[in-house]
Amino acid sequence: MAGIDWNGVRVRHSLGSVARRSGLAVPDAGTVMVCCPLPNHDDARPSMHLDLDRDRYYCFGCGARGDVVQWVSDIEGVGAVEAVAILEDGRRVKGVLGTGNRGAGTSYTSPSDHERPDLERTSPERVRQVMHDAWGYYASAPSHERATEYLGGKRDIDVSALEAELGRFVVGHTPDRPDALTQHLRSEGFTDDEMVDACLALRNRDGAVIDFFRDRVMLPVTDDADRVIGLIGRTVTDRAPKYLNQSRTHTYDKHLALYRPRRTILDRDANVIVVEGTVDALAIAAQAARSGLSTKFAPITASGLYLSATQLDRVLAIHDRAPVLAGDGDEAGRGANVAWATDAARKGRESVVVTWPEGQDPASWIAANREDALRALTRKGCLDAPPSELRPRHCGAVLTQHALDTLPNTGDRAASLRRVAAEAKNISSYLGRNASERYATAAAGVLPPVVVDAEAGHLVPGQRIKRQFRATQSVGDAGHNATALAVNQHIATDVEWPLKGLTP
């Protein structure tokens, strides 16, 4: 590969331009969720995150990630050198797009044919002022009533108790006219430049200015002082995208901001809950308020599947207990849980994970289960819950099960199992001693309790390990702890797994 100017290749070919060559209608900048274009991933629901500002992609469904060179390599099935040749040739990148929902986005920023916010033109203070006025307009009495009617009628979400606790409205709605906000803000003394730079208005190339948000329930993104710094719009029609986020402004950056419906001092055993959708976070906060449990539940979201390192740090700083990760009940949501749990563990923090029934999400679960719904999001006592009950599971069990589920069907099974255990050892090494032991115990619940005794050099059945363990330990459940011992043996020593499958 000598002689290739890799940086030059990446500069000449942005991810946005290469994605368009693959058949995806995406802008040049911002963040976009699309259906994964890889030929081995049948992705009906958008699960790939494109960071068009950083020219990186990540699929929460299949785990594919990389830059433009890797993109072409993954889709075309070629090596890096061939991928560079395809990029430089300028031809269409082949793929499996163009049918069904392939390539449809669920969340994006300003389209590329409109003027983007200029961070040099309008001052941060002026952007804050126009954001404050815009939210006041969207949350005025008629618009607020329209939003609550939609949420209550279509999603069975009642925000009245939450708003009573906070003493303010938490939802709003766009007006019918496509330039209603623009006209209102002009009457308040704001210029078109200021509205564009706050990403509240779009200016076409011909100079026409219209509202950025249309046909949407509006939810405010606030800072630690409860000032509105950004807005997220959830569509009330069948028109994509489901969620619309603003482009980067002086006050809002989707890679940094988090939507949190309610900020309050939390109880010692409170649950910080990470979800995908803004409405999911709102539904949890609304149910907690109705149940008198607002100090027990702190839902939060980055409004999508992707959680940046900065956002994760902010989530972990809210409370010192393990966060509850609750991505949607589909392939992309489960992939997000795995990514979030892995990243949290690498920062030295445990987590517990909710795996919803297929097709469910937090909002739909709450609507169907009401008062009992929050139990599925409660960390306390979850590790002792029976398998039949929907409760969070320790990240060690979820990540290990994911590794087992994604093992190749061909090749050396023993080598594959060794890699699973090696990864368990790697992840647990980031955690403290007690947390590492809990991780191993949880992983043991999904790994086979049969290992090769490193010293004796022969297979040791699970029952023999249990007898040995019972003879030396007298606390806890002997069978469960023996399984953990087997996993810890495997993690701590260079041993072999049996060639048979995963059934003990």
Count of C-beta atoms within a 10 Å radius of residue 110: 21
CA-based end-to-end distance of the chain: 47
**Which residue segments constitute the domains of the chain, with CATH numbers given?**
6-105 (3.90.580.10), 124-245 (3.90.980.10), 271-393 (3.40.1360.10), 407-492 (no CATH)
Cβ contacts of residue 282 below 8 Å, gap of 6+?
Answer: 151, 157, 159, 170, 171, 219, 261, 299, 363
Q: Which residue has the higher pLDDT, 237 or 390?
A: 390
Q: In Å, what is the CA distance from 342 to each residue of 350, 377, 499?
A: 9, 19, 28
Count of C-beta atoms within a 10 Å radius of residue 240: 16
Q: Once rounded to an integer, what is the mean pLDDT over residues 349-368? A: 96
Q: Once rounded to an integer, what is the mean pLDDT over residues 190-205? A: 93
Tokens standing for residue 30: 């911002």
Of the listed ranges 31-40, 111-120, 212-221, 485-494, the least confidently predicted one is 485-494
Distance CA 266, CA 297 (A): 8
Distance CA 201, CA 189 (A): 15
Q: Which residue has the higher pLDDT, 58 or 232?
A: 232
The 8 Å CB, 24+ separation contacts for 338-344 are: 338/398, 338/399, 338/402, 339/58, 339/60, 339/305, 339/307, 340/274, 340/307, 340/312, 341/395, 341/398, 341/399, 342/399, 342/427, 343/307, 343/309, 343/312, 344/312, 344/316, 344/395
Q: Contact, 69 vs 10, CB < 8 A?
A: yes
For residue 304, which amino acid is it? G
Q: Contact, 243 vs 107, CB < 8 A?
A: yes
Of the listed ranges 114-123, 231-240, 493-502, the least confidently predicted one is 493-502
Q: What is the pLDDT of residue 448?
A: 61
Residue 121 has pLDDT above 70, yes or no: yes
Helices (H) and strands (E) in the chain, counts: 18, 18
- Label residue 454 by pLDDT band (50, 70, 90): very low
Q: Which residue has the higher pLDDT, 395 or 110?
A: 395
Sign for the pseudo-dihedral over CA of 319, 320, 324, 325: positive
Q: What is the pLDDT of residue 284?
A: 98
- Label residue 397 by pLDDT band (50, 70, 90): very high
The 8 Å CB, 24+ separation contacts for 384-393 are: 390/354, 390/356, 390/357, 391/354, 392/324, 392/325, 392/326, 392/352, 392/353, 392/354, 393/352, 393/353, 393/354, 393/355, 393/442
Report DSSP letters for 215-255, one per residue. Answer: SEEEEEEE-TT--EEEEEEEESSSPSPSEEEPPP-SS--TT
Q: What is the pLDDT of residue 238?
A: 72
For residue 455, which amino acid is it? E
For residue 354, which amino acid is it? V
Q: Contact, 193 vs 119, CB < 8 A?
A: no
Containing H/E element for 107? strand 107-108
Give the 3-state secondary structure of residue 279. Answer: helix
Q: What is the rounded average pLDDT for all residues in the chain?
A: 82
Q: What is the pLDDT of residue 35?
A: 84
Tokens standing for residue 191: 């210029």
Q: Which residue has the higher pLDDT, 276 or 418?
A: 276
Q: Contact, 324 vs 377, CB < 8 A?
A: yes
- Label residue 298 by pLDDT band (50, 70, 90): very high
Distance CA 225, CA 472 (A): 55
- Label residue 55 by pLDDT band (50, 70, 90): confident
**If you ran DSSP here, which 8-state letter would residue 92 be given?**
P
Residue 97 has pLDDT above 70, yes or no: no
- SS3 annotation, 427-445: HHCCCCHHHHHHHHHHHHC
Distance CA 445, CA 448 (A): 8
